[in-house]
Structure formats: structure tokens, C-alpha cells
Structure 1
Amino acid sequence: MLIDSHCHLDFPDFVEERDAIVARALDAGVSRMVTICTHVRRFSQIAAIAEAYEHVYCSVGTHPHNAGEELDVTTQDLVSLAQHPKVVAIGEAGLDYYYDRAPREAQAQGLRRHIAAARETGLPLVIHARDADDDMIAILEDETGKGAFPFVLHCFSSGLGLAQAGLALGGYVSFSGILTFKRSEELREIARQIPLDRLLVETDAPFLAPQPYRGKRNEPSYVVETAYTLAETVGVSREQIATVTTDNFFRLFSKMPNPAAHG
């Protein structure tokens, strides 16, 4: 059993064949998918997708690209929407200095509001960090000083320093198809330094399809390829990486019912 901890099933790429995509994931052994919110104003669309599929859950949050458009979204708004039975995470929120599509102050303000919501609800914050390692470390350390909160550094492609800081603060690290790319040896070296009990896998679909699908539209079933590469990278069996990442997922995303706990 594997879990795609981060995908975007609401994106236009999937509209025509969402049923088939979810079915392919289940056939591949991907038993749960979390479709991640990028605009709080579109949350109803995300929730509708999660409601339509037994094995799909969702988050609520504002992507850093959209932080400037949703400055009026409060922590309390996030907390309120997170009461939906299928919401299992807050975010994605964070800092993206690579594209800089929103003012950095807006990104930071949004991130801190999402952290407060994660702290209040106990739901994990899905963190997007790109080319902003130092500022991300500073905010995470500052906010943890106000009270711990659960989080995952999603689609990890940052430096070792951010990984180590996140781990020190109790966070998890999730790897996407980037891990499978030939040029990603440095990232694989970081993966080898992450404790097994803090690893997750994801697709970030429709983006970043892993080898051998690189260049194509990504989808949740392809998380299997990332998991296989992660297993090879850290030196464990494919079965063990599936067990470990699934156990880690349910520990972090604790609101999602764990079938193993009731089996």
C-alpha cells in the first residue's frame, strides 16, 4: 500500500478523466490520495472532489503564489473550513522566491496564518519552500517557539540545512518525482540522511512526473516509481518503503481514518 500525500486533482489536466485516474491509482496500490488546495476561494471545488471519491481526501489553504490575492483569509477561516470531515491538512502554504509571484511579505504573512491554523487544529501544515531556505528556517523556528505544530516539507528540493532544521522541529520530508531525475544525485544524498520514520512520498501531480514518465502529465499512480527510487536510494526493500511511508503518513495525517488500525 502506498499513499500519494500531495496531488492536485482539481487542476484542469484531470477534468476529463478524473474517475479513470483515481481508478488507476487504486489499481497500482495507491490506496489514498490527498488533493491539495491552492486557493481557499476554490475550496468548495476541492471538497467536492474529496466527497466524490472514498479514497481521496483534501487540504485547505493558499499557495504562496496566490498569497497576495488571499490576504483577507484569516486563521479562523482556515480553522473553520478544516472542520470538513475530509480535510486532513492545512495548506499548501509557504515561500516561493524562485517565481516570486506574490510579494514576499504576503507569502510570510500567509504562512504564519496557516501555521497558526495547523497549531489550533492539530492538522499537518503542507509547506511549499523554493529558493527560500533561510527565511523558511527562521519562520519555522520562530513559530515553533510559540508552540509546536505538525508539518511536512512537501516536494522537497531544498538544501540539507532546511531538511535538518525541519527534522529538528519535528517535521517530515516528502519526496516527489524529482528524486528519480538523473540530475538529482544531491537530492538523493539528502534523502539518505532523513530518518526512515520521517519520510513521505508524493506526486505533486500533474507536475513532475517521475522517470520513466518524465515529460508527461503526472498522476497519483506514478507515486509508485518515486517510492521505488526512494527504497533504492535509502537501501531498503520496496515493501519496506511502502510500509514505512504509509505508517508515517497516518501518524502525521492523523485525522484520516487508518484502515490498518481497524483491521
Structure 2
Amino acid sequence: MFKNIILFFLFFISLISNSYAAPPPNASAYGAMWMCNSGYKKVGEACEKVNVPPNASAYGAMWMCNSGYKKVGEACEKVNVPPNASAYGAMWMCNSGYKKVGEACEKVNVPPNASAYGAMWMCNIGYKKQNDICIEMTREEKIKQLKTLETLKTRARISNSKNNNCEDLASNADDAERYARRAQNASDFDECTDNARRAKNAASDAYSQTCSCSEAQSFADDAERYARRAQNASDFDECTDNARRAKNAASDAYSAASNCN
């Protein structure tokens, strides 16, 4: 009987030791788990370096060719960019004032009193298109055009005022960060999940605000997701770990929204 108790005790100790085993080299701990750092991939219980070819960058356990290069097999080959064009990822586009003709970029024929916009041209203010040239407007036409432009500018200002609630997003993100911090530093499981619920609601409110800085909304979405995981966690460690992530994401959302012009 005593021998069986000793064996059970040793078995229990081994389980605890395995549960809290230190992460291998090139990995980071996340609660009771670990993940390989960016640029490394999990092979068994170790992290091996990802074989990143020249002109590429590691993203997690994967790699992608840098802008201006395209993937060919397991290598990155330079994109053939013609004159008067610029590389965008694995593609290229003609610069403004040029148009694509086959695999080259030809200059757009812009008449006097006009300006190039991409592969097109438009008459300058005070001029109107007639066939392939720009002729001067009459006095009445100029007055009408200026009134139309002023109306459009006014509507744009009103629209931006209604749809740019970055201050409200920052305020909600600040609340989410505060509750997530309380959850991370909670003394028990119930306190953690309760503050995680509040952080989730505040982050959700932040995400619902329309802000011209999309990055701020993206961080708010991350904060809401991590706070939800913390609220629904199955144990204390999982709750505090996700609360920490929610706190960081909410802090990033607050910074992005506060610095948005």
C-alpha cells in the first residue's frame, strides 16, 4: 500500500514537471505552452530554423519573397520591372503618366491645360474636354464649377467629421486596456474572467467606432478576441495569459487612435 502511494506521488510529480517544462531554444512560453519564434518551425519537441532563401523574409514558420521578387520553386527571382514602372509585391505597375502597352510603359499623351492621373488625363480647373484637347470654360461655367467643388469639399468635411471617431475609439481602448490589466493581475480565476468580460465589451465598443486609422480598429479587434478567450478560459493561467495579450493589443489600439490625424 505504502509502495503504491510512493509510486503515485512520483508519477504526479513527473506530470507537473512535464506540464511546466521550459521551452526549447528559439521558442517562447505562452502560459503552459510554447511556440517557436518567428523564423523557426516546430520539429518534434524542438524548433528548427526556417530555410529562408535570399531576397525573402521569415513570417512565423513560413517565408515570403520581398517586394520586387516572385517565388519560383524554393527561390525568389527578381521581377522584371520595365522603365517608368514600380514593383508592388510580385507585380509591377506603370507610374502615373504612363500606361501599360504589352510588357512596357508608354507615356500618356497629355494635352495642354491638363494633368495626368494614372494612365489617364483630366482637364485642369477652368478648362473642359473637347475631343482630345482642353479648352477654356466660359465665365458662367467657371462659376458653376467652383460652386460644385466647394459643395463637394463641404460634404467631405461633414462626412469625415461623422465617420472619424478616433477619440471615442481611443477612450474605449483605454478602458479595455485597464480592465485587461486588472484581469492579468487578478488574484483568482473569477476576478480574472470578470475583468476579461469588461475588457471584451470595451474592446468591442472600440472596434465599432469608425476611425480613419484602420490600424487602430485592427488592434481593437485583436484586443476583443484575446479578452473573449480570457473570459472563456478553462483555467487561471489561460485567463491571465490571454488578458496580457488583450492588454497589449488594447494599448496598441489606444496609441494608434491617439496619434491618428
Q: TM-score, normalised by structure 2?
A: 0.20
Higher RCO by CA contacts (8 Å cutoff, separation 6 or greater): 1
Q: Using structure 1 for the length normalisation, give the TM-score.
A: 0.20
